[in-house]
Structure 1
Amino acid sequence: MPGRRGGGEDKRREKLFSLQEEGSRRVAIRVEIEGKTHKYAEGTSLLEIAKEITERDPQAYPEDIVLAEVDHHLRELGHVAEEGEKIRFLTSVDKNGRRAYRRSLILLMQAAAARLDPDRQMDIRVEHSLGQGYFCHIYSREKDGFHLLSHPQASLIAQLRDQMLAMADEDIPIVKRSVSTEKVRDYFRREGLVDKVSLLRYRMDSHTNLYDLEGVSDYFYGYMVPSTGLLKYFDLQTFTDGFMLLFPYREGKKVADFDPAMKLFEVQERSGNWSARLSIPSVGALDDAIASGRIRDIILAQEALMEEQIGSMASRIIDRGRRVVMIAGPSSSGKTTFSHRLGTQLMARGFTPHPFPLDSYYRGRSQVPLDEKGNKDFEALEALDVELFNQNVTDLFAGKRVLLPEYNFTTGKREYHDRYMQLGERDILVIEGIHGLNDKLSYSIPASMKYKIYISALTQLGIDEHNPLSTTDGRLLRRIVRDARTRGTSAAETIRMWDSVRRGEESGIFPFQEMADEMFNSALVYEIGVLKLYAEPLLFAIDKEDPAYAEAHRLLKLLDYFLAIPTEDIANNSLIREFIGGSCFQV
């Protein structure tokens, strides 16, 4: 097994190193690594190659190699190299390497809990991400099921952390095996893990991959590291009624600082509690609801809740006498539809909203700044004509009639089409855009006039008890579908520019989120089942030789967990319509 120590590995490594010498021994295969051809014996694993490279040149990969991309396909290090393959090793700071690292930490945490509790009366549930960590709860097994252990003692968390560190030092292999899906379901049923049972009920594959660590077996969405020796950098800290599993981010051998965004956390907790009240805490539970014919009621309930929240927000804006509503959030959060729906609620209260999209203030494409890779950075504040925006707003509040711009995404130019605006005493500007909370954007508007709203699609569902569903994946699927429909952009193009989008969010949006007066979760509990209908064909169209294929394949695997949801019961003012089409708003 990859990562296992012993005489067998020593013999293989002797053979591997002998191939580096010029001699009579025949070379079996050639592979390309980072543009250079290397020779290895047939049957050599990626793990062996990675060890040979890093031992020969420790500076080749300053961070630990945890995964690989082979011919645009993700591969675990147990993969045996084959003739002609192009290999790119991924470390714990690469996007997919980071995912494998964090996923594997969850299994290590479970196995450490089993060492502390051999009778397996303790189960750790991963609730959702927060900063560079996962918020977790501890449950105790009782006769009638699992019960939340609220506010676990710091001593227990410290013991769990110490046990994880000890197991990391032992470099224990993580063993992958393929098991009959029916047997896997039976195993999880005996363990009382109902979310996993529901998830696998809709799995068509006859076999499922399980990962074992010291007798602890689990299913994970995605690839894993080969052994615990690669999992040395993490921390556990008590937090509210649970604890945080913290991990590295930009530096693979240093745990990222934890500065909790409490407003964001409270929104996530409320959304999760609401999903639980609907009996839909996980993907499998959603699939159960679809299969049993409950999805129409769930759609209606979700939309009613969202409308109630927006209406209450409109009342608070009016009560505080604010004249400018600044709406900001990361890409594909549904800012445009939200601004229209908030405007409708303001109208119902006797005020006149004026939607004011910041996208209209993009500079001409030739003036958009470049990111570090030389690509157009449309997420940068400098991509907007900030001076023109402030001049227009200043003129409006001075009572002037202002001709407003519009941006043509096809031509990449700003245009004017007789779109005039003039404000009255009961008029409110509703301004949406990714930089809405940044005072550098709205420097001419007094703070007393502004009401700041942060909006993001914070997915309420988990894949199961131990696998959180990425909020970022939900937004990426939204953007793939919308960009193809409104901008003629292929899924491959959207995937390729997504890293740049994310960098822009980290520098221009997330640092300002806690400055918001209010936060709004735009995720719909049912939405990925709807997006599946539109996203799958776009993702399948990506060629296997395309660099975006690995990400497309990963997203297709995610969508495979969801049953598809027809769209006829979705209202034309629903936020999801901004992405799939059919909205009554101009979005």
Structure 2
Amino acid sequence: MKKFNVNIENETYMYEEGTSYFDIVTEHKRKALLVKVNGKLQELHKTLKNDVNLEFVTLSDAIGRSTYERSAILILLKAIDDIYGSSISPRVEFSTGNGLFVRLGSKTDYDVEKINNHMRELVDENIRIEKTNVHTDLAIKMFHDAGFFEKEKLFRFRRVSRVNIYRLENYIDYYYGYMVYSTGYIDKFSLTRYKDGIVLVIPKKENPETAEEFVPEEKIFNELNNASINAIEMGVSDVGSLNEMIANGMTNEMILISEAYMEKKIGDIADDIIKRGNVKLVMIAGPSSSGKTTFSHRLSVQLMAHGLKPHPLEVDNYFKNREDTPRDENGELDFENLDAMDIEQFNADMLALLDGERVELPNFNFKTGQREYNGNFLKLGKDDILVIEGIHCLNDKLSYRLPNDSRYKIYISALTQLNIDEHNRIPTTDGRLLRRMIRDVRKRGISPTKTLAMWDSVRRGEERNIFPYQSSADATFNSALNYEISVLKQYVEPILFSVQKDSKEYPEAKRLLKFLDYFLGVPSDNVPSNSILREFIGGSAFHV
């Protein structure tokens, strides 16, 4: 039997041809969910065919965690099917709090403890998760017979002739991404009954040994839930339905309805601000590529329609001078740290404005790293209102001296309401990442490879500085549009192909390309000039 060299962490081992990666991982006693073979992701059932460099992918890796989540979902759906059969049609919806919401519909007598216990039985039995490759036409029939009609519709628009199906005993399903070798890998999770469904919690990357109890975030859940219901009402809750509308020539109608719905939401927030009576400072925060700038402009237009005079203000202009900026654990300047802001000056200026004084507002020069004063004076009259944007705007430590009734806080994020199908959700971060890559190339000259390389760091900053304060907002705004990924596809696909195969970012670029392949593309011609999407693809009516 032929033998091959396998390099693992700079040590070389010899294995026979045909040895499975599962056997290699088991021998090395590593908790690997997948492996990278010469930089390419592989599932553990794959076998050795030549000399390779082997890396272990664990729950501490982003790809490993998403693999764990998919596999946990499969076991959950199998458990529900075993207990309730077709009387429950679970739908995997969205992340909420620290968990994943699975809607169980109108059925209310389901037993979460019973589902949980059966899941653990399936885990204890350590059943192989089998993968088979079938013709797309057969997959469509299989999904129709199983009652997975969104999957059936999705694959009617697939260009490939074959598709991978996963089987857990008698239960079949399709998943966008890799799976673990067997059920025994998914030994840490918790289930909680919530609203009209259940929440599945799996370990975080940072703490892979523990699945925490569910911590609900009511405001974000309600926003996501409303968006999901709206998508269903519009007939575009899944990619197959979206593609069907595009194929039937209904793209423009869909764009108009999506934009009208968003404008109504902005108008509702403006109405609420007016009703409060004393609001002089509208404070907006949200994660990267949420469309904060366009949203603030559109909100300002709505406020002007109420007779107010809005003035934009960026908190970034209150950065401390470069020599006073704190550094992170790696010695790099930490601009996302609240201590990078001149909190005292910000509060002093805002209080002076609230007291009717004339204040010279600063401008931060990012080239010199210094705060400058260039004669930008402002005095607030009866109808004047400040629209303030910054990552710390929801954190009361930024505005600790300002009276609560003068502030109106808004959390904005692109909370994707579209799912691939019944059991495959689209993470909200994916939509924002696509937006950011397009904008980085178009406006900042930053390559998609660099954007992908920075994304984990960006996410960590959001986890630290934005997400903990989202529940304190007076209003939550969802900036995701039902149709947007079909438009973004035209812009982001070509630049993703520029990511080199030998780069660390290639697997993520490849994943995103596969993801985009589910969508029919549409041109941007009918996207309105005031759309949040224009902030990223260009052609905005606003200076963004």
What TM-score range do you get, normalising by the shorter chain? over 0.9
Matching residue's letter, 1:268? L
Residue by residue over 1:170-192, the C-alpha shift from the partner in whole angstroms, topping out at 9 and shown as x without a partner, is 11000011100111011112222
Distance in 1 (CA, whole Å) between partners of 2:274 and 2:88 is 49
Give the match for residue 463 of structure 2: 506
Q: CA deviation at 1:555?
A: 1.0
CA contact (8 A) 1:137 1:149 kept: no
Matching residue's letter, 1:231? I
Matching residue's letter, 1:126? V
Q: CA deviation at 1:326?
A: 0.8
Distance in 2 (CA, whole Å) between partners of 1:555 and 1:46 is 25
> Does residue 1:79 correspond to 2:46, yes or no?
yes
Distance in 2 (CA, whole Å) between partners of 1:85 and 1:366 is 48
Give the match for residue 357 of structure 1: 314
Q: CA deviation at 1:466?
A: 0.7
Distance in 1 (CA, whole Å) between partners of 2:349 and 2:24 is 60
> Does residue 1:438 correspond to 2:413, yes or no?
no
1:278-427 alignment, distance < 5 Å? 278-320=234-276, 321-362=278-319, 369-372=326-329, 376-398=333-355, 399-408=357-366, 419-427=376-384
Give the match for residue 29 of structure 1: 4
Q: CA deviation at 1:122?
A: 3.5
Number of corresponding residues: 541
Residue by residue over 1:321-340, the C-alpha shift from the partner in whole angstroms, topping out at 9 and shown as x without a partner, is 20001111111111111111
Give the match for residue 212 of structure 1: 167
Provide the secondary structure at the position in 1 that maps to 2:89: strand
Q: Which moved more, 1:436-445 or 1:541-550?
A: 436-445
Residue by residue over 1:303-330, the C-alpha shift from the partner in whole angstroms, topping out at 9 and shown as x without a partner, is 1111111112112112212000111111
Distance in 2 (CA, whole Å) between partners of 1:302 and 1:532 is 18
Equivalent residue for 1:53, pick from 28, 53, 72: 28
Distance in 2 (CA, whole Å) between partners of 1:53 and 1:371 is 35
Distance in 2 (CA, whole Å) between partners of 1:363 and 1:333 is 25
Q: CA deviation at 1:101?
A: 0.5
Distance in 2 (CA, whole Å) between partners of 1:566 and 1:415 is 42
Residue by residue over 1:493-534, the C-alpha shift from the partner in whole angstroms, topping out at 9 and shown as x without a partner, is 111111111111111111111111111111111111111111
Distance in 2 (CA, whole Å) between partners of 1:190 and 1:235 is 31
Evaluate the alpha carbon distance shift between residue 468 and residue 226 of structure 1 in structure 2; reply closer, same or farther with a 3 A threshold.
Answer: same
TM-score normalised to structure 1 length: 0.88
Give the match for residue 491 of structure 1: 448
CA contact (8 A) 1:31 1:86 kept: yes
1:6-405 alignment, distance < 5 Å? 28-54=3-29, 61=30, 64-117=31-84, 120-138=86-104, 148-153=105-110, 156-249=111-204, 250-320=206-276, 321-362=278-319, 369-372=326-329, 376-398=333-355, 399-405=357-363
Provide the secondary structure at the position in 2 that maps to 1:109: helix
Evaluate the alpha carbon distance shift between residue 374 and residue 550 of structure 1 in structure 2; reply closer, same or farther with a 3 A threshold.
Answer: farther
Give the gaps of 5 or more residues in structure 2: none
Evaluate the alpha carbon distance shift between residue 569 and residue 412 of structure 1 in structure 2; reply closer, same or farther with a 3 A threshold.
Answer: farther
Matching residue's letter, 1:211? Y
Distance in 1 (CA, whole Å) between partners of 2:331 and 2:107 is 49
Matching residue's letter, 2:102? C
Residue by residue over 1:156-203, the C-alpha shift from the partner in whole angstroms, topping out at 9 and shown as x without a partner, is 221111111011011100001110011101111222222111211111
What fraction of aligned residue pairs are identical, expressed as a percent?
Answer: 46
CA contact (8 A) 2:190 2:212 kept: no
TM-score normalised to structure 2 length: 0.94
Distance in 2 (CA, whole Å) between partners of 1:129 and 1:521 is 14
Matching residue's letter, 1:447? N
Q: CA deviation at 1:121?
A: 4.3
> Does residue 1:451 correspond to 2:391, yes or no?
no
Q: Which moved more, 1:275-284 or 1:129-138?
A: 129-138
Distance in 2 (CA, whole Å) between partners of 1:206 and 1:226 is 25
Distance in 1 (CA, whole Å) between partners of 2:109 and 2:286 is 34
Q: CA deviation at 1:377?
A: 4.1
Distance in 1 (CA, whole Å) between partners of 2:317 and 2:180 is 46
Q: CA deviation at 1:97?
A: 0.6
Matching residue's letter, 1:440? K
CA contact (8 A) 1:150 1:242 kept: no
Distance in 1 (CA, whole Å) between partners of 2:452 and 2:212 is 26
Distance in 2 (CA, whole Å) between partners of 1:416 and 1:586 is 22
Provide the secondary structure at the position in 2 that maps to 1:482: helix
Provide the secondary structure at the position in 1 that maps to 2:90: strand
> Cα RMSD over matched residues?
2.1
Evaluate the alpha carbon distance shift between residue 43 and residue 515 of structure 1 in structure 2; reply closer, same or farther with a 3 A threshold.
Answer: same
